[in-house]
A and B are shown apart, each in its own frame.
Chain A
Amino acid sequence: MRHLLSAADLDREAALHILDTAAEMAALSDRSVKKLPTLRGRTVVNLFFEDSTRTRISFELAAKRLSADVINFAAKGSSVSKGESLKDTALTLEAMGADAVVIRHWDSGAPHRLAHANWIGGSVINAGDGTHEHPTQALLDAYTMRRHLRDGKGALEGVRVGIVGDILHSRVARSNVLLLQTLGAEVTLVAPPTLLPIGIETWPCEVSYDIDSVLPKVDAVMMLRVQQERMQDAFFPTAREYSRLFGLNGERMSLLPDHAIVMHPGPMNRGMEISAEVADSDRAVMVEQVANGVSVRMAVMYLLLGGAKE
């Protein structure tokens, strides 16, 4: 495997391989010396065209724990914001010997272009491209679900997952639907019709407009961020109405089965899609998701860069 551009790139075996490797990597964070020599001498570049402190730090930490050299390239204030093209940026990184580029970009398909346009020779990891995909997020979500619902082993056969929120604009939703299907889980999407893409009926999942009927039947519910500004483009009338119909508050949380967990990729819009009460409850595993993100990203980088160059 040379690149990780989409959750669809991973078949069941590859996905489980990453999750199992991540489980071993996770033990690292309990040691006092949180360092492995495996990627010593490799250079990983974080090419972030969109602001994202948490994801960038997660990748940076993952690479550093594997002893790689990390370069952070943030779009603001760099030559990119002054009009340098993606191509020229890529050529510059290649000249500096980047072994891997972790790219977050506002355009769907930018990582794909980077990987296939022959501008760089290294590996490309998609850290989120527009509203298209965010494969490492889906991996860390699956890892988290597996830990709580399947004792940290195997796939997610029969696990029922609800994903609630702005599906239309969500790369997290797209990657999760693909990966969860690969791992055998059953997915139900919940959103108002305006926040579901045309052609949703072709996706491998169920769709519902009624969160209350879905919550009792899931083992994990993933709340997606909904931006208040979407109100300006008439996706919903008011933030209050959205929250009333689709938000996860304490009352709704009690509809969940006892064992069910609440997830969120972050950052949260407390009061919008999720209430503070739910966010701070015992069922909420957001903090753990962040920790798992580092282990999963370590696993991905090890598998892409740790062996012979393909």
Chain B
Amino acid sequence: MGSARTHDLRTVLSGDDIARASRRIAHEIVEKAKGASDLVLLGIPTRGVTLAHRIGAVISEIEGIQVPVGSLDITLYRDDLRLHPARALEETSIPEGGIDGKIVVLVDDVLFSGRTIRAALDALNDVGRPAAVRLAVLVDRGHRELPIRPDYVGKNIPTAASEQVRVRLTEIDGSDSVEISTGGER
């Protein structure tokens, strides 16, 4: 027996795939909102923020106006705080103009149990009162534990619960890719 770690790594999204998905999401956001005038994109740290900036850049390209982009750290709203030592906080940066009456699009890289988004909704609630909150994710890997659903998805990728989804973005990791790793590592 023994624990030979079998590391099966397969790439499910290439750099080009990510770029296309981001463009499509940007278009879908603008379509549903009928324009970009009341949009605010809030990325969930860490990689959600990078994606939010990319999507925001595409929207600006399409619509010709600057969309406010910020970040929303959800650490203090997590429901599992008591299970680990106190975590370091990430940056929360709400764009000038706030979120009251706006269409807030939360942006994250991977949607899994849904607890992160639940925490984000609670955090938003204390920041202000948006006209609507929508959710854009690059990857939806299933296994929801709460009734949360995304409005815009880059790719639906069914996974086993034991698998790990690894998102790499150039600004942070040096290259763009989404990989799934199976096997030994839990």
Do A and B come together as binding partners? yes
Chain A residues with a Cβ under 8 A of chain B:
17, 20-21, 24-25, 27, 31-33, 35-38, 302-310
Asked whether, in the complex, the Cβ of A308 is within 8 Å of the Cβ of B85, the reply is: yes
Residue from the list A37, A304, A306 in contact with B122, Cβ < 8 A: A37
Contacts A306-B86, A307-B84, A308-B85 hold; do A36 and B126 have CB atoms under 8 A apart? yes
Asked whether, in the complex, the Cβ of B84 is within 8 Å of the Cβ of A308, the reply is: yes
Contacts of B90 in A (CB 8 A): 24
Asked whether, in the complex, the Cβ of A24 is within 8 Å of the Cβ of B85, the reply is: no
Contacts A33-B126, A33-B127, A36-B126 hold; do A20 and B77 have CB atoms under 8 A apart? no
Contacts A37-B77, A302-B76 hold; do A24 and B84 have CB atoms under 8 A apart? no
Asked whether, in the complex, the Cβ of B81 is within 8 Å of the Cβ of A24, the reply is: no
Contacts A37-B77, A307-B81 hold; do A17 and B126 have CB atoms under 8 A apart? no
Asked whether, in the complex, the Cβ of B88 is within 8 Å of the Cβ of A21, the reply is: yes
Asked whether, in the complex, the Cβ of A310 is within 8 Å of the Cβ of B122, the reply is: no
Contacts A37-B77, A307-B82 hold; do A31 and B88 have CB atoms under 8 A apart? no
The answer, yes or no, to whether B73 is at the interface (CB within 8 Å) is: yes
Asked whether, in the complex, the Cβ of B82 is within 8 Å of the Cβ of A308, the reply is: yes
Contacts of B8 in A (CB 8 A): none
Asked whether, in the complex, the Cβ of B76 is within 8 Å of the Cβ of A36, the reply is: yes
Contacts of A35 in B (CB 8 A): 126
State the CA gap A32–B100 with chains docked (Å).
11
Residue from the list A25, A36, A310 in contact with B85, Cβ < 8 A: A310
Q: What is the CB-to-nearest-CB distance from B71 to chain A, in angstroms, rounded to a whole number?
A: 11
Contacts of B89 in A (CB 8 A): 20-21, 24-25
The answer, yes or no, to whether B83 is at the interface (CB within 8 Å) is: yes
State the CA gap A306–B78 with chains docked (Å).
11
Asked whether, in the complex, the Cβ of A31 is within 8 Å of the Cβ of B126, the reply is: yes
Asked whether, in the complex, the Cβ of A302 is within 8 Å of the Cβ of B86, the reply is: yes
Asked whether, in the complex, the Cβ of A307 is within 8 Å of the Cβ of B85, the reply is: yes
Q: Which residue of A lies closest to B78 (CB)?
A: A38
Report the 5 A-B pairs with minimum CB-CB distance, sorted nearest first: A307-B86, A306-B86, A307-B85, A33-B126, A24-B89
State the CA gap A306–B88 with chains docked (Å).
11
The answer, yes or no, to whether B128 is at the interface (CB within 8 Å) is: yes
State the CA gap A307–B86 with chains docked (Å).
4
The answer, yes or no, to whether B91 is at the interface (CB within 8 Å) is: yes
State the CA gap A173–B122 with chains docked (Å).
41
The answer, yes or no, to whether B92 is at the interface (CB within 8 Å) is: yes
Residue from the list B83, B88, B122 in contact with A20, Cβ < 8 A: B88
Asked whether, in the complex, the Cβ of B82 is within 8 Å of the Cβ of A37, the reply is: no
State the CA gap A35–B125 with chains docked (Å).
11
Asked whether, in the complex, the Cβ of B86 is within 8 Å of the Cβ of A303, the reply is: yes
Contacts of A21 in B (CB 8 A): 88-89
Asked whether, in the complex, the Cβ of A306 is within 8 Å of the Cβ of B81, the reply is: yes
Asked whether, in the complex, the Cβ of A17 is within 8 Å of the Cβ of B88, the reply is: yes
The answer, yes or no, to whether B87 is at the interface (CB within 8 Å) is: yes
Asked whether, in the complex, the Cβ of B85 is within 8 Å of the Cβ of A27, the reply is: no
Asked whether, in the complex, the Cβ of A31 is within 8 Å of the Cβ of B86, the reply is: no
State the CA gap A32–B76 with chains docked (Å).
17
State the CA gap A287–B18 with chains docked (Å).
49
Q: Which of B77, B86, B91 has the most CB of A within 10 A?
A: B86
Interface positions, chain B 57-110, Cβ under 8 Å from A, are: 73, 76-77, 81-92
Q: Which residue of A lies closest to B83 (CB)?
A: A308
Identify 16 residue pairs between A and B in the complex whose beta-carbon atoms are under 8 Å apart, listed by A's number: A17-B88, A20-B88, A20-B89, A24-B89, A33-B125, A36-B126, A37-B76, A37-B122, A302-B76, A302-B86, A303-B86, A307-B81, A307-B85, A307-B87, A308-B82, A309-B82
State the CA gap A33–B127 with chains docked (Å).
7
Asked whether, in the complex, the Cβ of B88 is within 8 Å of the Cβ of A38, the reply is: no
Contacts of B81 in A (CB 8 A): 38, 306-307
Q: Which residue of B lies closest to A37 (CB)?
A: B77
Q: Which residue of B lies closest to A32 (CB)?
A: B128
Asked whether, in the complex, the Cβ of A31 is within 8 Å of the Cβ of B127, the reply is: yes
Q: Which residue of A lies closest to B123 (CB)?
A: A36
Q: What is the CB-to-nearest-CB distance from A112 to chain B, in angstroms, rounded to a whole number?
A: 23
Q: What string of 1s and 0s marks CB contacts (under 8 Å) between B137-163 and chain A?
A: 000000000000000000000000000
State the CA gap A307–B80 with chains docked (Å).
9
* Apart from A31-B126, A37-B122, A307-B82, 17 more pairs, CB < 8 Å: A20-B89, A21-B89, A24-B90, A24-B92, A27-B92, A31-B128, A32-B128, A33-B125, A33-B126, A33-B127, A35-B126, A303-B86, A304-B86, A306-B76, A308-B83, A308-B84, A308-B85
Contacts of B76 in A (CB 8 A): 36-38, 302, 306
